[in-house]
Amino acid sequence: MLVALRVKNFVLMDSLELRLEPGFNVLTGETGAGKSIVVGALSLVLGGRGNAEQVRPGADEAEVEALFDVTGSEQLATALDAAGVSSGGELVIRRVVQQNGRSRAYLNGRLCTAGELQALASELCDVASQHESVALTDPSTHLGYLDRFGRLSTTREALAAEVEKLEKVVAEIREVREAERGRVEREAFLGFQLQGIDTVSPQPGELEELAAERQRLRHAGRLRELTEHAAARLDQGEHAICDELAKLSKDLRAAADLDPSLEATANTLDGLFSELREIAREVDRYAERAEANPSRLSEIEDRMYRLEGLLRQHGPTIDDVIAARSRIATELEGLGNVETKLEALEHERDRLLRVAGDRARQLSQKRREAGEKLGASIGGELADLGMGGARVIVDVAPLSGERSELVVDGARLGRDGIDRVEFLIAPNKGIEPRPLRKIASGGELSRALLALKRTLAESGPAGLYVFDEVDAGVGGVVADKIGRAIADVARHHQVLCITHLATIAAFADAHFVVSKQVDGPITKSTVKRVEGKDRVAEVARMLAGAKVGPSALKAASEMLDEAKARSAAVVASPKRGAKGRAS
């Protein structure tokens, strides 16, 4: 529901704030006053194209902001979540158009694209005019309307769940077949990789151990030289450190015999002497072992080269190589079972296709039955709106099955079933039914859309309906019926109607008047809500023209009272949407 529309420097309007009521809102005014500007502003925030002509002369930029109440709309909530927009039940859309024609768009303060706004438009508003309709003239929406009318949404959702499972199996079959086409080459490649790893047979921690051993062998001569010198200094030759330490230990032991308080110190020195003597022996043994071994060094370097080759392919660590070996072996084993797996998948696909096919056929039959009732119901509404010769057909046809993997009785199977639905209308007798979007007469199109909306009022998604000059080419009794029809739609949806006819405006819950003033060199349009005597005066102007006398005012007052009484009677009467509804 549109709560408020704010406009600044847009076309002829320097500023405007329009606050709509939940029910029937009407917009009236003299021809050329700027009523279409309001629809243009609304179209802009719904993703319409921005251009320099929309900026009021003398202004730097035009700005349009709309506040929507989006509570209760699951589809819209899903779309907003996908766009990363947090709504909290309210959605503010803002468009700014600069003098050069460039524009910016915002969703709840987040910068977005016009395309994102267009994706939300059908959930927020439906504009019906002589020139456009956002939703009902789009055939892609017709299947949804038919299913709502026939109460088939639950059946369609059950089918969608079956088709989703079927699509997953088909996708897996496609992957397996793709793998099968390159199986021989893949097996050869994987076998080559596996053999390469097994030939080397890397072991955890092996590379580090080899690197340490290579380091020792490369410096064997220097290591021998250093350790021989250390061994000699520790325990060989004159003035060896161990000999000197032994003398010190002997002297300290003699002192401890004289003073027992030195016993612990003497014991510590004895321990140090024993440790140093053991170190001297270990260094001497190392020096004896430290010798060059070119053959072993070559063997180590060759082994490390082969291990590093595996690391370049599967690394960066030996553990990664071992893990890769496990994966390759598993994939090789799986390739050997492709035919068995493919056979099982195809069997499951055929089973799911039978189940989904039966559901799709049942859904298609129910759609055809509901389509006949819907067409008859819309035709009845058109007769009430002065198009008694109009005939409406809800065309339920099979989807083309060409180039599709999922086919039921020659029709392509999708999550919505096997049907393509489109509303066709013959406005007059003797004319072949044509799609709504191809109807030549703007008045006929507007009334056809009104009839559709009245029939689908209870089943269609709640939101804002905009009727722009739906009264074109009608008057008298037909205009009165159109007013009552719009009032009936407004019981279930918010409505904004732009009209020249007093008989339609009289049914509105809220009445707004557009007027135009000349302020020096600039022409401005303003919008004002009228109530009480002001509203009577506006309805009288619509009845009598420029000269409004007492008789016109009296007629306007009576018309408003009568419309109010009729609206109350409509509310008290049974819901029209229940008549002719499919079970």
Q: What is the pLDDT of residues 330-340, one digit of tens each?
A: 888 777 677 77
Residue ranges of domains in the chain, CATH in brackets: 2-152+441-578 (3.40.50.300), 187-335 (no CATH)
Contacts 24+ apart (CB under 8 A), 282-291: 283/227, 283/230, 283/231, 283/234, 284/227, 284/231, 284/235, 286/223, 286/227, 287/224, 287/227, 287/228, 287/230, 287/231, 290/216, 290/220, 290/223, 290/224, 290/227, 291/220, 291/224
Q: Which residues pair with 454 in a beta bridge?
A: none
Tens digit of each residue's pLDDT (9 = 90 or more) over 461-490: 667 888 876 776 667 777 888 888 888 888
Tokens of 496: 């904004």
When pLDDT is cut at 50, 70 and 90, the band that residue 391 belongs to is confident
Place of tokens 């009430």: 384
Name residue, tokens 């199977």: 413
352 closest CA partner among 393, 406, 403: 406
Q: Rg of the chain's alpha carbons, rounded to an integer?
A: 44
- For residues 155 and 366, the answer to whether their CB atoms sit within 8 Å is yes
Q: Is the peptide bond before 521 cis (omega within 30 degrees of 0)?
A: no
Please tell me the pTM assigned to this model.
Answer: 0.62
Contact 4, 510 (CB under 8 A): no
Q: Assess whether pLDDT exceeds 50 at residue 222.
A: yes
DSSP string, 393-455: EEEEEEPB-TT-S-EETTEE-BTTBSEEEEEEEESSTTS--EEGGG-S-HHHHHHHHHHHHHH
The CA distances from residue 284 to 222, 223, 280, in Å, are: 14, 12, 6
Q: Give yes or no for a contact between 321 and 306, defined as CB atoms under 8 angstroms apart.
A: no
pLDDT at 578 over 50: no
Q: pLDDT (tens digit, 9 = 90+) per residue, 318-365? A: 999 999 999 998 888 777 677 778 888 999 999 999 999 999 999 999
Q: Which of 105, 77, 107, 81 is nearest to 89 (CA)?
A: 77
CB atoms within 10 A of CB 400: 12
CA distance 5 to 35: 14
- Tokens 């819901």 correspond to 575
Note whether 397 and 411 are within 8 A (CB): no
